Chain A
Amino acid sequence: MDICSWARQIASGSREEALSEILQYMQLEFFHSNNMVFSPELEVSVRSWILTVGEVDRGVDRKKLWHSEIFLLKQNLPPLPRRLFEFTMLSSRIMPRAAAPVRSALKAHTNLPRFVQFSRAYASSADEKDLVIIGGGVAGYVAAIKAGQEGLKVTCIEKRGVLGGTCLNVGCIPSKSLLNNSHMYHAIKHDTKQRGIVGVEGVSFDLAKMMKAKDTSVTSLTNGIEFLFKKNGVEYLKGAGSFVNEHEIKVDLNDGGETSVSGKNIIIATGSEATPFPGLEIDEQRVITSTGALSLEKVPESMVVIGGGIIGLEMGSVWSRLGSKVTVVEFLNQIGGPGMDAEISKASLKTLKKQGIDFKLGTKVLGGDPSGDKIKLQVDAAKGGKEETIEADVVLVAIGRRPYTAGLGLENIGMELDERSRVIIDQEYRTKVPHIRCIGDVTFGPMLAHKAEEEAVAAVEYISKGYGHVNYGVIPSVMYTYPEVAWVGQNEAELKASDTAYRIGTFPFSANSRAKTNLDTEGMVKIIACPETDRLLGVHIIGPNAGEMIAEAALALEYGASSEDIARTCHAHPTLSEAFKEAAMATYSKAIHF
């Protein structure tokens, strides 16, 4: 079927009119070529457009379609063509610039206002979006793409100027680049002799190039999201959004100027920022957060990390591998933060110490003085003890993150926050104003990108389908140190606290064939299951590739598998995942190779 010939048929004898018809068709083609709609939907929309524009608007037979008939026609369209149905309004924005001179001519020919009037009478005005998302981080951009796929008219507001938020720009992604490359350097330097690789003495690195490699990965990923926005028909506004009232959001555009959008639904996805340490001013040069730690210009001689959580240990590892003398000061007696199993945490502490990182556990930082050549930190045993001073060139503050809602104008809509500045939500991510939802770091739950992603999909499904799903009991955590640490489900301490009976099975990587061939045998898999039903309760892994292996555990946990289910599933040989299977065997009966 040739859509173009329809347009020609409809066009009357007049040459200009025929031209304008074809031009309008080209606008639809533009949607099509940008993958904004699927072709069957496009076909439907072109048919309906020709019916209305061609017959109603051009006055060939004005009485043929009544308002109610147009309304009905529109009602029966799937969401995307319905959107296109109003394209006469939309097109003026989406039309390519090159076509701009013809645009005015086109308007003059086709007497648009009458048609616009029809649309306005029955549909929302073009400026009101189905969904407005504040924040283009993992939560925001995933929600925007999902909403586009569900056929909602969606706008995403981001003030950073690039999409992806903390995760892509100054978090997970750049840190993984540095961790991977610094690990390769470290491995070449210290771990080649026993493998029979020679001639790598005097290996060194170029920090500037390492940073450039990091930036390249970041840019390609953030650009990828912009492409996905276009593909899914998401409108992207670069600027800072703030609530004017419950439906309207003012956007201070980064390029200057101001605009406003209103939405039937609004999602707050503004994320989080690093919690500053009281008394130490962050300058991102000497006193740094994770953001500064990703772009130091030279390797500091010594570095103190305040906070032995995942961020502190990962960034500490990077700079320690590159030659810094790293000391981690942690208030608790355990590293890895909440959720990490005590046994795994101890094993991790042992290996990290072996790699040359110093630890001061159960130690409180009283204050710091950055005035001298070196930054002086006063530390004290957490339970009271002898005060001492430690010195460092750079201090990394990694004591956690806090929700970020500054400048959002929450006071204009009477939104209250809880005692830790989180937006309070219910089970469907609704805030106290039900059409405003909130997801990601800025609300409850662990501050993890994959959790935000799950919530984004669920929140959009609650809007479009009335039902969504996130299982907060099965959110994996991974620490990308060497060896990696990963866990999902409950740990021993949590089970003890809730008085739940459990059974444990472990398997060391030193008994795994693939780990042996890799000469990489540190770590173990620990599986916790219910003694009565054998149902999996938690999985904790420290060792090579733990971050990938945890996916299998999360899947098993989500399905409610028993340890026997895993143990009876065939795993390829020789792989690291056999250790996972053997740990499951050890849980319900006995491991073969240990």
Chain B
Amino acid sequence: MNATKVLRQATAHAERMPSIRFVGKRPIPEHIDHTPKPHPASPTGALPANFAKHGSHTSFSSYRDHAQQFGPLRKTIHTANIGSTPGAALGDVSPPKGQYFDRHHLPGKFRRTAISVDEMEALESGGASMVA
């Protein structure tokens, strides 16, 4: 059996493998990048800076993303304002090495609630002051 395999391989190698490949009917690629890129025959190999920033959209899906949602949540608009970008995109929240956050830096809602005079009374009287 091995001999046959060797023989087969030998014949395969003896036959000329043309480097030309007949690809058959050309399919349309599944993923096509429609974003504007320089034309292959372009002499500069670059697009001008203001190219296709025209307000129109290069594809239907980009138009739909743009038109579906108005306001800061619109996918196609990115401003520096908080709310237009997800929190995760704002970066890491842990302090730099060697530095520590103090509890006092936190907003008021994270701090311990101060005890009122009535509460102190209630604690000291074992709750009797609240009933009386």
Contacts and interface: CB of A to CB of B under 8 A. Distances in A.
Interface stretch (B16-24, B92-100, B123-131): B16-24
Q: 9 nearest interchain CB pairs?
A: A445-B41, A426-B36, A561-B20, A444-B41, A562-B19, A467-B28, A565-B20, A427-B37, A472-B40
B19 A444 contact: no
Contacts of B16: 564, 568
Given A433-B56, A444-B39, A568-B16, A424 B32 contact: no
Interface in A393-431: 416, 418, 424-430
Contacts of A344: none
B42 interface: yes
B104 interface: no
Nearest to A467: B28
A435 interface: yes
Given A424-B47, A472-B41, A430 B19 contact: no
A434 B47 contact: no
A425 B39 CA distance: 6
Contacts of B56: 246, 433-435
B20 A466 contact: no
A559 B32 contact: no
A588 B36 CA distance: 41
Given A427-B36, A427-B38, A565 B47 contact: no
A534 B20 contact: no
A470 to B, nearest CB: 8
Interface in B57-111: 57-58
B19 A466 contact: no
30 contacts: A246-B56, A416-B48, A418-B44, A424-B48, A426-B36, A426-B52, A427-B36, A427-B40, A428-B34, A429-B39, A430-B36, A432-B48, A432-B50, A432-B51, A432-B54, A433-B54, A433-B56, A434-B54, A434-B58, A444-B39, A444-B43, A445-B39, A469-B26, A470-B40, A472-B40, A534-B19, A559-B22, A561-B19, A564-B16, A564-B19
A444 B51 CA distance: 16
Contacts of A430: 36, 52, 58
Contacts of A445: 39, 41
Contacts of B41: 444-446, 472
Contacts of A466: 28, 32, 34
A433 B40 CA distance: 19
Nearest to B36: A426
A117 interface: no
Contacts of B51: 424, 426, 432
A426 B19 contact: no
A465 interface: yes
A533 interface: yes
Interface in A429-464: 429-430, 432-435, 443-446
Interface string B1-38: 00000000000000010111110001011001010111
Contacts of B57: 434
Contacts of B43: 418, 444
Given A429-B39, A445-B39, A560-B20, 5 more contacts: A444-B39, A444-B42, A533-B19, A556-B20, A562-B20
A433 B53 CA distance: 8
A535 interface: yes
Nearest to B58: A434
Interface residues of A, number: 35
Contacts of B20: 556, 559-562, 565
Interface in A104-148: none
B41 to A, nearest CB: 4
Contacts of B28: 465-467
Contacts of A534: 19
Interface in A167-209: none
A552 B58 CA distance: 38
B82 to A, nearest CB: 32
A421 to B, nearest CB: 13
Which of B16, B22, B51 is the most central at the interface, judged by chain A CB atoms within 10 Å of its CB?
B51
Nearest to A470: B40
A427 B39 contact: yes
Contacts of A556: 20
A130 B102 CA distance: 65
A416 B54 CA distance: 13
Contacts of A562: 18-20
Contacts of A428: 34, 36
Contacts of A444: 39, 41-43
B36 A559 contact: no
B70 to A, nearest CB: 22
Contacts of A559: 20-22
Contacts of A418: 43-44
B38 A426 contact: yes
A57 B27 CA distance: 43
B118 to A, nearest CB: 68
Contacts of B32: 466-467
A180 B21 CA distance: 38
Given A424-B47, A432-B48, A469-B26, A565 B18 contact: yes
A564 B50 CA distance: 48
Nearest to B53: A432
A430 B59 CA distance: 12
A535 B16 CA distance: 15
Interface string A557-577: 001111011001000000000
A535 B19 CA distance: 8
A424 B20 CA distance: 35
